[in-house]
């Protein structure tokens, strides 16, 4: 806080300054941890950051390097506030909006996440609030279900904030995420809700998430295959417990991801949505796309269920089951302190 008095005197406009008080308050400090040529040997702890700040802490940046067969299957696990089961347990690539090992970098979804190299150089700026600790592990896999015992050389960076006052408030998706201790009886938490490698029958719904608390959707990624493109007619629908009918978010799958005519311009990445993989010529068609909701909010005060349908009756000709379906939904939820 500073008070400055200014006086102009006479034709020469002599300026007199009186500085009466200066008080500087630092509301936020930042922290950073990294690893260079670190060897992953099975599930390996990368960081275990403790929070002692009065108003809590957050992590807001991750970066990963490395190069080995199956890199895209590497599993990242994030334990928030001494959890025994992780809030996040997912594949490196799907966490960053990619379902396939396409050599398509560099690209970014604005500042949210992206990829600068091949197969690594992946990063994100997701905000993870925590009040006690955040512990992160990584485990290399050679396939979706098979971990490797071979040590793998790895690089990583994590950055975050510590809040010493409560005047640096930040809302994401309608949820107050910083400082987390600014909410007296509850706190925000970023969770990953997923389906991995499932099959969805024709015209059936895949539940992306079903939550019974206050929350806001941050990011949805869907990756799937089928024998025809008709499955892309499937719509995304949502419903709160108090709603009398479902809300329709799109007229088809590609519309939800802001694409058109079965993604007729190929892959794209932007700060709202992206198509990171498409194959329309192989006998089995496939796609992966992401949709961010940090600006286009889906906020719910007490509950919400979001679904995606495999095809839509009356559209798209012959529709076949959706196979190799992966869905990753990132949701901020409010939980007891």
| Selected residue with higher pLDDT from 1 and 301 | 301
**Burial degree of 136 (CB within 10 A; 0-12, 13-18, 19+):** buried
pTM of structure:
0.90
At residue 130's C-alpha, the angle toward residues 128 and 135, to 5°, is 80
pLDDT digits (tens, 9 = 90+) for 45-102: 999 999 999 889 999 999 999 999 999 999 999 999 999 999 999 999 999 999 999 9
Is the confidence at residue 228, as pLDDT, over 60? Answer: yes
Contact 176, 188 (CB under 8 A): yes
Which pLDDT value is given to residue 184? 62
pLDDT digits (tens, 9 = 90+) for 231-243: 999 999 999 988 9
- Work out the end-to-end distance of the chain between its first and last CA atoms, rounded to an integer number of angstroms: 33
Alpha helix stretches (DSSP H) within 59-142:
92-95
| Selected residue with higher pLDDT from 244 and 176 | 244
Alpha helix stretches (DSSP H) within the chain:
92-95, 253-256
Report the distance separating Cα 21 and Cα 300, nearest Å: 45
Which pLDDT value is given to residue 182? 62
pLDDT digits (tens, 9 = 90+) for 268-299: 999 999 999 999 999 999 999 999 999 999 99
Report the distance separating Cα 177 and Cα 330, nearest Å: 14
Which pLDDT value is given to residue 187? 87
Region 25-36: mean pLDDT is 86
Q: Which own/partner contact pairs does 260-269 have at CB distance under 8 Å and 24+ positions apart?
A: 262/229, 262/232, 263/232, 263/287, 263/289, 267/102, 267/104, 269/107, 269/108, 269/109, 269/114
The CB density around residue 207, as the number of other CB atoms within 10 Å, is 13
Which pLDDT value is given to residue 183? 57
Report the distance separating Cα 176 and Cα 337, nearest Å: 14
Joined together, the tokens standing for residue 253 give: 């799958």
Contact 185, 176 (CB under 8 A): no
Report the distance separating Cα 256 and Cα 248, nearest Å: 10
Which pLDDT value is given to residue 166? 77
Q: Is 315 left (phi over 0), alpha (psi -120 to 50) or beta?
A: beta
Which pLDDT value is given to residue 330? 98
**pLDDT, mean over the chain:** 90
């Amino acid at each position: 806080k500073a008070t400055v008095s200014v006086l102009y005197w006479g034709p020469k406009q002599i300026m007199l300054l009186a500085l009466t008080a200066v008080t500087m308050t630092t509301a936020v400090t930042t922290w950073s941890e990294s690893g260079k040529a670190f060897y992953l040997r099975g599930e390996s702890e990368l960081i275990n950051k403790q929070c002692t700040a009065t108003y809590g802490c957050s992590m807001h940046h991750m970066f990963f390097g490395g190069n080995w067969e199956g890199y895209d299957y590497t599993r990242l696990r994030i334990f928030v506030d001494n959890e025994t089961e992780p809030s996040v347990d997912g594949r490196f690539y799907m966490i960053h909006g990619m379902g396939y090992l396409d050599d398509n970098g560099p690209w970014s979804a604005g500042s949210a996440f992206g990829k600068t190299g091949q197969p690594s150089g992946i990063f994100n700026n997701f905000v993870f609030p925590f009040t006690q600790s955040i512990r992160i592990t990584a485990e290399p896999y050679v396939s979706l279900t098979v971990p490797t015992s071979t040590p793998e050389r790895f690089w990583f960076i994590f950055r975050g904030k510590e809040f010493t006052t409560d005047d640096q408030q930040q809302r994401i998706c309608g949820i107050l995420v910083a400082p987390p201790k600014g909410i007296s009886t509850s706190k925000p938490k970023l969770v990953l809700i997923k389906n991995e490698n499932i099959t969805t029958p024709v015209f059936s719904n895949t539940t992306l998430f079903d939550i019974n608390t206050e929350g806001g959707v941050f990011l949805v990624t869907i990756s799937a295959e089928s024998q025809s493109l008709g499955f892309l007619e499937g719509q995304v629908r949502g419903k709160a417990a108090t709603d009398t009918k479902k809300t329709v978010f799109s007229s088809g799958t590609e519309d939800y991801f802001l694409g058109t005519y079965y993604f007729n311009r190929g892959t794209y990445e932007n700060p709202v949505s992206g198509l990171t993989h498409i194959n329309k010529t192989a006998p089995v068609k496939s796609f992966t796309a992401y949709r961010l909701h940090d600006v286009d909010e889906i906020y719910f005060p007490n509950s919400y269920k979001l679904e995606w349908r495999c095809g839509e009756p009356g559209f798209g000709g012959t529709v076949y089951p959706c196979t190799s379906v992966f869905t990753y939904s990132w949701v901020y939820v409010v939980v007891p302190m």
